Amino acid sequence: MSAQPAPRTVTRIAGPALPVISFAARLPAAICPTATLLMLTELRGIGTAAVAAGALWTGQAVGGPFLGRYADRRGHRPVILAASLANAAAIAAFVVSALTATPLAAQAALAAVVGLTVPQIGPLSRTRWVVLTEPAAGENASGTPELTRRALSFDTAVDEVSFMAGPALGGVMVVLVHPAAGLVLAGLLIALFGTLFALHPTAPRGTPAKDSSGARLLRPALLTLFAMALLQGMIWGSANAGTSALSDHLGDTGMAGFVWGAMAVTSSLAGLIMTMRPIPLELTLQLRLAVAAQALLLTALLGVSSFLGATAAVAAIGCAVAPHLIVLFTLAERVAPMERMGEAMALLGSGLILGQGIAALAAGQWAQHSGYHGAFLLTCVSGAVALAVALACVRPWLTGPDHAVRLPGASARAEEQRGGT
């Protein structure tokens, strides 16, 4: 296994089609917020756009854990299939409402439905890789914790590429075709590729509620990881708002997307490197180092005053983002019960989304009063708080000769199979 390139080692487990399908199925979730803002800003004004985008983000954050829970209980196939088709229908209804004289409340409600029905491809894709690489995963006798970590690293890199490509693709469609073209594309993509992802042979079967009722999910370890995800989302949301405010200050708001895309480029590369060359350090130490590096790199934002400086700072921050997220989701795999893995991964995804929404709103208001530096100050404060949480609440200790570590409240499965996290 080690003689083969790491991405090939990972993808041979499920075949090359799964990463392609999951990438395409993730694009709508990345397209929709940006396309919503651009469409409604063009058609109805920034006030309506902000309300609808906020409703979409809120719906996605609230709906994620519920969809993850249903997928754990009923299986990926029926839940993702139903959510994908419902999401496509909700997007279509939302577009119609934007193109007609529909009241703001109705548009916001439809935007929330779009968010609620997002099929959670990213979190459930991670769950799928966990199932496929488990040491006891049926015929997959080659499963190891290292293989699971590589698979999650690879999937995080795919996530980062979709995070970069989605908004760019949606923006191009809006500018070159029609204000609603980005959302129309998102609806078509989720209807097609969401269905293909749902029907892929790797879709796990569900665990009936009576069989998973004793598996406690909200342990201290997972709550700590949720807090880390929430703070990471706040870093993104405030930095994105600051980048937009800086672009507006410099007289070219369209440059914000290109500046922000630099983070996705470097983060994707860092994720691929970690897939090929896993870091030989225990996971909680990796988490602390990644969060510390990010907190240090964030301070560069306080001194930027040009597009070049902002792009360099954002690109540097991206080098720490993927290592943080990879370890975050790998630790979630270690501490969450297998029968509720989809719900756990979706919970962390909701933390990222909720943090982005909260910070984007706060930083946007702050930037209006004190300029882009105010938004970047919130970014740095969020990074400092994340580091404090990592140092105070993520406390590793050795549990055996393999130097495994565990977080408080680690699941019995993780303790028995891997010596804990």
In degrees, rounded to 5, the angle at the alpha carbon of residue 27 between the alpha carbons of residues 248 and 68 is: 115
Distance CA 163, CA 203 (A): 23
User: For residue 2, what pLDDT band results from cuts at 50, 70 and 90?
Assistant: very low
Q: What is the pLDDT of residue 19?
A: 87
pLDDT of 400 strictly over 60: no
pLDDT in tens, 243-253: 878 877 888 76
Distance CA 276, CA 288 (A): 21
Three-state SS annotation for 118-141: CCCHHHHHHHHHHHHHCCCECCEC
Q: What is the pLDDT of residue 71?
A: 85
User: For residue 157, what pLDDT band results from cuts at 50, 70 and 90?
Assistant: confident
Q: Give the SS3 label for residue 1.
A: coil
Q: What is the pLDDT of residue 86?
A: 96
pLDDT in tens, 159-210: 877 877 787 787 778 778 888 998 999 999 999 999 999 999 888 886 765 5
pLDDT of 416 strictly over 60: no
Q: Which amino acid is at 184?
A: V
What is the torsional sign of CA 390, 153, 196, 135?
negative
Chain region(s) in the chain for CATH 1.20.1250.20: 1-206, 213-421
Residue 96 C-alpha from the chain's centroid: 28
Burial label, 17 (beta-carbon count in 10 A; 0-12, 13-18, 19+) = middle
Q: What is the pLDDT of residue 15?
A: 74
User: For residue 144, what pLDDT band results from cuts at 50, 70 and 90?
Assistant: low
Per-residue tokens: 90: 């909700």
What is the torsional sign of CA 268, 269, 270, 271?
positive
Distance CA 185, CA 31 (A): 9
Distance CA 243, CA 61 (A): 23
DSSP 8-state secondary structure symbol assigned to residue 203: P
pLDDT in tens, 42-97: 787 766 777 887 788 888 888 888 888 888 888 889 999 999 999 999 999 999 99
- pTM, two decimals, is 0.76
Fold of 213-421: Growth Hormone; Chain: A; (1.20.1250)
- Candidates 3.40.720.10, 3.20.20.70, 3.40.50.150, 1.20.1250.20; CATH matching 1-206: 1.20.1250.20
Evaluate whether 91 touches 226 at the Cβ level (below 8 Å): no
Q: Which amino acid is at 265?
A: V
Higher pLDDT, 366 or 187: 187
Contacts of 99 (CB under 8 A, 6+ apart): 43, 180
Per-residue tokens: 128: 């799928």
pLDDT in tens, 301-347: 999 989 899 999 999 998 999 889 888 988 887 777 777 777 888 88
* Closest CA relative to residue 150, chosen from 232, 286, 273: 273
Higher pLDDT, 275 or 2: 275
The residue written with tokens 């290109």 in the block is 258
User: For residue 419, what pLDDT band results from cuts at 50, 70 and 90?
Assistant: very low
Residue 252 C-alpha from the chain's centroid: 28
pLDDT of 388 strictly over 90: yes
Distance CA 112, CA 211 (A): 32
Q: Which amino acid is at 292?
A: A
Burial label, 198 (beta-carbon count in 10 A; 0-12, 13-18, 19+) = buried
Q: What is the pLDDT of residue 23?
A: 92
* Closest CA relative to residue 25, chosen from 69, 96, 76: 76
pLDDT of 406 strictly over 60: no
